[in-house]
A and B are shown apart, each in its own frame.
Chain A
Amino acid sequence: MIHLLDIQNKLDGTRELLLEKLSHPYLMEHVESPFIDDDRLLLLTSLLEQQEGNQERATSYTLTTMLLQIALDTHEHVHNSLPGEGDESHKQRQLTVLAGIYYSGLYYKLLADLEDVDMIKRLATGVKEVNEHKISLYQKDSGAIDQLMESLKLIESSLLGKVADHYQAAEWYEFASNWLFVKRLLSEETLFMNTGHSLLFNALKKIALPKMDQKAAELSSEQQKYLLSICTRYIEFSMTKIKTASKKLSGMNSLLMERLDLITGQYQSMSKKFAEEG
């Protein structure tokens, strides 16, 4: 097993390189700092640590995939304009659009400088898939719950999946995609419980409660429980898949196991909360 300190050092080093790439003085001044998902970084680093012999290439692939993910995540923060909104919020939106474009340009440049045309193609195909599924989720297009959940999973894991495909590491994809999916489901649940809305639950409501007036603001407590129970079923199923896949992986490291325990804990405390709240 890879030593915790080694992987932690690698993560810190890549994180620093990533921050360096993302730093643009004017953007830093006016838009929210880009969010670096540490779990995604850990999954990519661990995958490439095991699959790629060339350390420089492994770091570049991690950087470029993270840049692209951050570019897509940044564009998630572009909201619709509001009547009478102030200049600063307008400017912030404009720069958020441009920040996403800038970060995705950096992904292309990094791989072009590496002369890695294959990886450019793989990741571009991933971005296409992600955006197709984002539109489907946003428009509540899915006709079945399985289809909706698959869209959500692909939104979270398509890019990482393309890197795993490159190494034919199907078991890594199984492990990582379910991990990212569970994380997203937990965050959608939290958002739904706190605000009564979330992209996933809005779409789920349309499929699972078809007779309900979709514009109605309030769900009854029974209806909320029903939707949450659907989500929980998918979390449980994916947790089982993660555990099964983790046993098959030879490249598990102690940091991955530590993080996995944390997610399991988060899921268990969420389940307990549901149970207590009835």
Chain B
Amino acid sequence: MKMKLLYTYLNSDLTLIEKELEESIQADSHLLRQASLHLLKAGGKRIRPVFVLLGAKFGDYDINVIKDVAVSLELIHMASLVHDDVIDDAELRRGQATIKAKWDNRIAMYTGDYIFARALELMTEIRNPAAHQILSDTIVELSVGEIEQIKDKYNFDQNLRNYLLRIKRKTALLIAASCQLGAVAAGVPEEDHRKLYKFGYYVGMSFQITDDVLDFTGTEKELGKPAGGDLLQGNITLPVLYAMQDEYINKRVRTVREGMERAELNEILKLVQESGAIEKSLEISDRYLDKALAILEELPPNKAKKSLRDIAKFIGKRKY
């Protein structure tokens, strides 16, 4: 089943958001338009806009107001992808050439900065200062998280706490903010929009752990890139941390370095896959999902609540 089927009643609003996304990046510069569109057309799950819309469903839902938040958050995510591709020196994203590969790093930086500014400009359509405080805190934390990620690269002595804090900043906070900001823009009472934030946070944590597991279990076709890329880049994720509890695997993992031979890497990937670490990681992911579902129960019943529940469950079971 496709995730989209869990919220078909949002289809017309999501189509509008897709159109708004395209319009929002109509820069004067031809190349800037081309680069931004290239990224937009590469697709994506649009999970953040979905969470914004669903969060707003707990208040006075007006798509003409909410769309600015939804588009803005997707643009922030897109800008971060453009910058991340420069950071990772990535040639491909979702099976397509990255902006930095198709043009160069300079163009990618200008495009990323442009898209980010466009996102904030659009977000200012929301006049409520609380929305900006939430989003600005999130953005600062996101960048701190990425700096921490670089700091922790090839650091085989990091612990579970490091990892959880990193994925919180890297992924969970933006999903949490998406759920909360949709609600804030729709005038949902503070008590409830805080619950939506927590829901998003737990789902985001679960989502990232699943993503980190998929890097070991997914095929190249499913992932759009070769498996084990995270480890090769020195990103020590939950499956690796669990697998490293075994002394032999610990020693082997510590030999991972930039540009190592694929065959040697594959041996280590296999050791991680067969160590039981995948199952343990998925258990943690499930625990976050349970927390998400529990907090959801405290929110008033509506159609969106059901969709959020279904999405949370779907994320836990996704294969790619």
Counting chain B CB atoms within 10 Å of each CB, which of A94, A127, A139 scores highest?
A94
User: Could you say which of B42-50, B140-148, B179-187, B270-278 contacts chain A?
Assistant: B140-148
Give per-residue flags for A92-133: 1 if the beta carbon is below 8 A from chain B beta carbons, else 0. Answer: 011101101110111011011101011011001111100110
- Tell me whether B109 and A97 are in contact (CB under 8 A): yes
- Tell me whether A141 and B29 are in contact (CB under 8 A): yes
- Tell me whether B121 and A121 are in contact (CB under 8 A): yes
Given the contacts A95-B150, A108-B136, A117-B132, A135 and B32 also touching, CB distance less than 8 Å? yes
- Tell me whether A105 and B140 are in contact (CB under 8 A): yes
- Binding site secondary structure of chain A: helix
- Tell me whether A112 and B32 are in contact (CB under 8 A): no
- Tell me whether A94 and B132 are in contact (CB under 8 A): no
CB of B77, distance to nearest CB on chain A (Å): 13
Q: Does A24 contact B (CB under 8 A)?
A: yes
Q: Does A237 contact B (CB under 8 A)?
A: no
Q: Does A75 contact B (CB under 8 A)?
A: yes
Give per-residue flags for B101-141: 1 if the beta carbon is below 8 A from chain A beta carbons, else 0. Answer: 00011110111011011101101101101001101110110
CB of B73, distance to nearest CB on chain A (Å): 14
With the chains together, A45 CA to B97 CA distance in Å? 44
Give residues of chain B (200-255) contacting chain A, Cβ–Cβ below 8 Å.
none
Q: Which of B29, B132, B146 contacts A98 (CB 8 A)?
A: B146
With the chains together, A98 CA to B104 CA distance in Å? 17
What is the interface residue range for chain B against chain A? 35 or more
Q: Does A78 contact B (CB under 8 A)?
A: yes
Residues of chain A lying within 8 A (CB to CB) of residue B129: 112, 115, 117
User: Could you say which of B5-13, B82-90, B191-199, B290-298 contacts chain A?
Assistant: B82-90
With the chains together, A108 CA to B105 CA distance in Å? 24
Given the contacts A78-B86, A78-B106, A124 and B140 also touching, CB distance less than 8 Å? no
- Tell me whether A101 and B143 are in contact (CB under 8 A): yes
Given the contacts A80-B105, A112-B132, A138-B106, A120 and B140 also touching, CB distance less than 8 Å? no
- Tell me whether B31 and A125 are in contact (CB under 8 A): no
Residues of chain B lying within 8 A (CB to CB) of residue A72: 113
Q: Does A6 contact B (CB under 8 A)?
A: no
- Tell me whether B117 and A94 are in contact (CB under 8 A): no
Count residues of chain A with CB under 8 A from any CB of chain B: 47
Counting chain B CB atoms within 10 Å of each CB, which of A78, A91, A136 scores highest?
A78
- Tell me whether A120 and B83 are in contact (CB under 8 A): no
With the chains together, A184 CA to B234 CA distance in Å? 40
Q: Does B151 contact A (CB under 8 A)?
A: yes
Give residues of chain A (176-190) contacting chain B, Cβ–Cβ below 8 Å.
none
Q: Does B157 contact A (CB under 8 A)?
A: no
Residues of chain A lying within 8 A (CB to CB) of residue B150: 91, 94-95, 98
Q: Which of A26, A100, A105 contacts B139 (CB 8 A)?
A: A105
Q: Does A245 contact B (CB under 8 A)?
A: no
Which residue of chain A has the shortest Cβ distance to B150 in the bound complex? A94
CB of A93, distance to nearest CB on chain B (Å): 8
Q: Does A20 contact B (CB under 8 A)?
A: no
- 4 closest A-B pairs by CB: A127-B117, A115-B129, A112-B132, A121-B124
With A98-B146, A128-B117, A131-B114 given, name 4 new contacts (CB 8 A): A87-B258, A105-B143, A108-B136, A120-B124
Q: Please, could you name 11 A-B residue pairs with CB atoms under 8 Å apart, sorted by A?
A: A71-B113, A75-B109, A95-B150, A98-B143, A108-B139, A109-B137, A113-B136, A120-B124, A128-B121, A132-B27, A135-B29
